[in-house]
Chain A
Amino acid sequence: MKLFVKVWVFLLLLTAVEVYLAYLRAAPVVMLAVLLVISLMKAVYIIAYFMHMKYEGRLLRWSLFLPLVILILALLGILPDAARAQCIQCGRTAAAQNSERARVLNRGIVAMVVPPLLLSAGLLWRLRTRREVRRG
């Protein structure tokens, strides 16, 4: 039970960091990246401890989460399109200057998604390898 209280305190601390970031009015891009990383961390901790996924079998974990990850990746594929439509100014200026610029812009947007995904994958991996048999 002590463990769960610790996890709860940790989740509260992560939330406090998020709120503090909003208080600072951090730049939207920085904020989005950090918020995504923190939210994924919170999700992993809730799933692993509160939902006991840490103590379930490997087959269950893969069966449940692999489809979800594939869906998220597929859906993220539509975002560069939105960025091109919007950032109407930057999209247009970039395209007007040369197409190379536009491509760099798109690549930058996709690259932003990579760190949070890597981090969550890493966390899941760590939970998998450090799995201890603990019952009751």
Chain B
Amino acid sequence: MNHAAASSSPFGIGSKKFGMWLFVVSDALTFTTLLICYTYLRMASDDWPLPFAFSPSIIFSSVMTLVLLTSSLTMVFAVDAMKSGDRRRTVRWLGATMVAGAAFVLLHLTEWRHLIFDEKVTPWSNPWNQPLFGATFFGITGLHMLHVTAGVIYLGVVAAGVLRGRFTEEDVEVSGLYWHFVDLVWMFVFPMIYLMSVTP
């Protein structure tokens, strides 16, 4: 790392890392706005559906949460491996993170498939007569799933580069920032969308 450049930065971090932090915060604004709009719509309607049975829906989404949280831990290990200069170990941990991310997307798509084809929920209609439910559900979880998918691709590009001797410790750390952020967003989506909609 270029220490002269880093120490001349008023924030004391490299420009790549600072750039990612700016992206993360602006992306956080997007998700915040979506979640608060969802809360608004929900509070303003007196018959919001509560379609998620504890078993299997809540248990299923809890497993998804576990997968995503664990992928954050493997990402921490990848950054640590890169710090100690072990590129092979870095790629292995990045791979583990990607597998967990892909597993999350697959689980999520399974759940979407069930909702769309078995429960007949679409973004504009559902059997519970509250079309906004589908709009908010697919809008928020869809945008999050898009982030996870993009993250898996991003980590793939980083892993391929690391394997060929490209990229520095900072690059891996920056990709980690993005990944943890995606995990962080789910920590709000999971309770607000799923847990608050458990079938009584």
- Contact yes or no, A60 B21, CB < 8 A: yes
Interface string of B158-200 (1 = CB under 8 A from A): 0000000000000001001100110110011011101110101
Task: Give the A interface residue count (CB, 8 A).
Answer: 51
B195 in complex: contacting residue of A12, A21, A85, A136, CB < 8 Å: A21
**One of A11, A25, A136 near B69 (C-beta < 8 A):** A11
Chain A CB within 8 A of B118 CB: no
Q: How many residues of B sit at the interface, in one of the four size bands?
A: 35 or more
The count of A-to-B residue pairs whose CB atoms sit within 8 angstroms is: 132
Contact between A75 and B33 (Cβ–Cβ < 8 Å)? yes
Is the CB–CB distance between B188 and A32 below 8 Å? Answer: no
- For B196, the chain A residues whose CB sits under 8 A away are 28, 31-32, 35
Taking a contact as CB atoms under 8 Å apart, the answer to whether B32 and A15 are in contact is: no
4 interchain residue pairs of minimum CB distance: A82-B43, A82-B44, A35-B191, A22-B195
* CB of A123 within 8 Å of the partner chain: no
User: Are A67 and B54 within 8 A (Cβ)?
Assistant: no
15 cross-chain CB contacts under 8 A:
A11-B69, A18-B190, A22-B58, A23-B54, A31-B195, A35-B196, A46-B183, A56-B12, A65-B25, A71-B33, A82-B43, A82-B44, A85-B43, A86-B45, A86-B46
B29 touches A79 (CB 8 A): no
The answer to whether B13 and A56 have CB atoms under 8 Å apart is yes
Task: Given contacts A43-B187, A50-B183, list 6 more A-B pairs with CB under 8 A.
Answer: A8-B69, A31-B196, A35-B192, A81-B40, A82-B44, A86-B44
Q: Is B77 an interface residue (CB 8 A)?
A: yes
- Residue A60 contacts which of B11, B70, B75, B77 (CB distance < 8 angstroms)? B11
Which residues on the A side are within 8 Å of B83 (C-beta)?
136
> Quick check: A22 and B198 within 8 Å, CB to CB?
yes
Tell me if B56 counts as interface (CB < 8 A to partner A): no
Contact B28 A87 (CB under 8 A): no
Would you call A39 and B188 a contact (CB within 8 A)? yes
Residues of B close to A72: CB separation below 8 A: 32, 36
| A51 CA to B44 CA, complexed, in Å | 36
